[in-house]
């Protein structure tokens, strides 16, 4: 089978399309013929080994696992002896962690869910990691409630587009922060209000929010505190630099007052139950994945360059089958 492999950290030039052996599922695994995959910051960070902390788990000098690609959608070709949720022929999607940029991949059944029939493979592949991050950040860390004023900073990216729609599902009044060219798209997916960060600083406009979900952290913890309502929550789901991450980690709990919470969400947990919940949102079209562009498998390096160099609207897709 064809697969994307790298033997060292670096730019997209380290990625190679090679012929390799088709995997065989273990007793609790599913073998999937991949139709589509997508790009996340997770994939880019493992390719670049940025921040350096990535190397502590992925390999200090070179990658322990030469594969990339977490989010996939495809058709079940075979199942292990202990698999109970799926059978050959089922259309599934999920977060397999590594190996999605290939014609076939094996994954535990718990990280997969059935793909709704009215959702394309490309839409399904765009969903798992970004939607799980948005769902768990808003629901579990942010404790979102109907009627709250919610601000999504970075509303036009992969996680942000899901966050806007999931916040609307929970009945919030949503403000999306993005660049000029993405304002129309943010409105189209449900944002009640939009702020163009190139023209306005949302931390200085005098408005306050019950929940801030931040994918593009670029402000100081003091600026975020200023726009949080009493008992408001700030949830960092992504960051622009390590300094911003450290700033929030060190000062967030010290600065928060009046019942406020300022902190970082845990890494999204990949689990079957939440994927099934998201499947319901996809099937009802309460959530519709935003896709920027599709690339064939042999242009995965170009797709990752696109991710690095441009602010994509939603997700970038790798079309495999």
What pLDDT was estimated at residue 278? 98
- Return the minimum-mean-pLDDT range out of 221-225, 283-287, 316-320: 221-225
209-214/228-236 β-pairing: parallel
- pLDDT at residue 239, as a whole number: 74
Please give the pLDDT value at position 9.
Answer: 97
C-alpha 26/C-alpha 31 separation (Å) is 9
pLDDT score at 240: 66
Residues of the chain within CATH 3.90.180.10 domain(s) are: 2-126+289-319
Domain with CATH 3.40.50.720 in the chain: 130-264
Distance of CA 81 to the CA centre of its chain: 31
Q: What pLDDT score was predicted for residue 164?
A: 98
CA of residue 303 relative to chain centroid, distance:
16
Interval 33-80: pLDDT, tens: 999 999 999 999 999 999 888 899 999 999 999 999 999 999 999 999
pLDDT digits (tens, 9 = 90+) for 135-152: 999 999 999 999 999 999
CA atoms within 13 A on the CB side of 270: 19
**In 154-297, which ranges are E strands?**
173-178, 193-196, 209-214, 228-236, 261-264, 291-296
Mean pLDDT of 172-176: 98
Residues of 125-160 as b/e, b for ≥16 C-beta within 10 angstroms? bbbbbbbbbbbbbbeebbebeeebbbbbbbbbbbbb
- 130-264 under CATH 3.40.50.720, yes or no: yes
Dist CA 233 CA 229 (whole Å): 8
**Average of pLDDT values for 206-215?**
96
The predicted pLDDT at position 195 comes to 98
Q: Span 267-280, mean pLDDT?
A: 97
Summarize pLDDT for 96-155 with one digit per residue, the tens.
999 999 999 999 999 999 999 999 999 999 999 999 999 999 999 999 999 999 999 999
Q: What are phi and psi of 5, to 5 degrees?
A: -130, 150
> According to the model, what pLDDT value does residue 59 have?
93
Which of 223, 199, 191 shows the shortest CA–CA distance to 234? 223
Q: What is the DSSP letter of 157?
A: B
Question: pTM, whole model, 2 decimals?
Answer: 0.95
Least confident span in 104-108, 113-117, 160-164, 265-269: 265-269
- For the chain, the average pLDDT equals 95
- Second CATH level (architecture) for the domain 2-126+289-319: Alpha-Beta Complex (3.90)
């Amino acid at each position: 089978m064809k697969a994307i492999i790298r033997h060292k950290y670096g730019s997209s030039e380290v990625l190679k399309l090679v012929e390799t052996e088709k995997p065989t599922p273990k007793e609790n695994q599913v073998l999937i013929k991949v139709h589509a995959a997508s790009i996340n910051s997770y994939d880019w960070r493992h390719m670049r080994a940025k921040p350096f902390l990535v190397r502590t788990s992925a390999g200090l000098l070179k990658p322990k696992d030469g594969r990339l690609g977490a989010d996939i959608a495809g058709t079940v070709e075979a199942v292990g002896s202990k698999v109970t949720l799926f059978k050959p022929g089922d259309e599934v999607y999920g977060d397999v962690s590594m190996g999605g940029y290939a014609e076939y991949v094996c994954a535990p059944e718990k990280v997969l869910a059935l793909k709704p029939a009215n959702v394309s493979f490309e839409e399904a592949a765009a969903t798992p990691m970004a939607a799980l991050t948005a769902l768990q950040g808003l629901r579990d860390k942010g404790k979102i409630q109907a009627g709250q004023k919610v601000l999504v900073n970075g509303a036009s990216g992969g996680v942000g587009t899901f966050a806007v729609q999931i916040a609307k599902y929970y009945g919030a009044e949503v403000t999306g922060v993005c660049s000029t060219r993405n304002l129309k798209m943010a409105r189209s997916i449900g944002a009640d209000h939009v702020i163009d960060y190139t023209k306005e600083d949302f931390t200085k406009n005098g408005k306050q929010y019950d929940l801030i979900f931040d994918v593009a952290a670029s402000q100081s913890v003091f600026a975020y505190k200023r726009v949080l309502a009493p008992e408001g929550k700030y949830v960092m789901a992504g960051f622009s630099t390590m300094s911003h991450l450290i700033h929030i980690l060190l000062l967030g709990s010290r600065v928060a007052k009046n019942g406020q919470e300022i902190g970082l969400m845990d890494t999204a947990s990949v689990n079957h139950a939440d994927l099934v919940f998201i499947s319901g949102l996809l099937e009802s079209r309460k959530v519709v994945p935003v896709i920027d562009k599709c690339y064939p498998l042999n242009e995965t390096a170009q797709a990752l360059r696109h991710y690095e160099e441009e602010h994509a609207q939603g997700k970038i897709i790798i079309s495999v089958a």
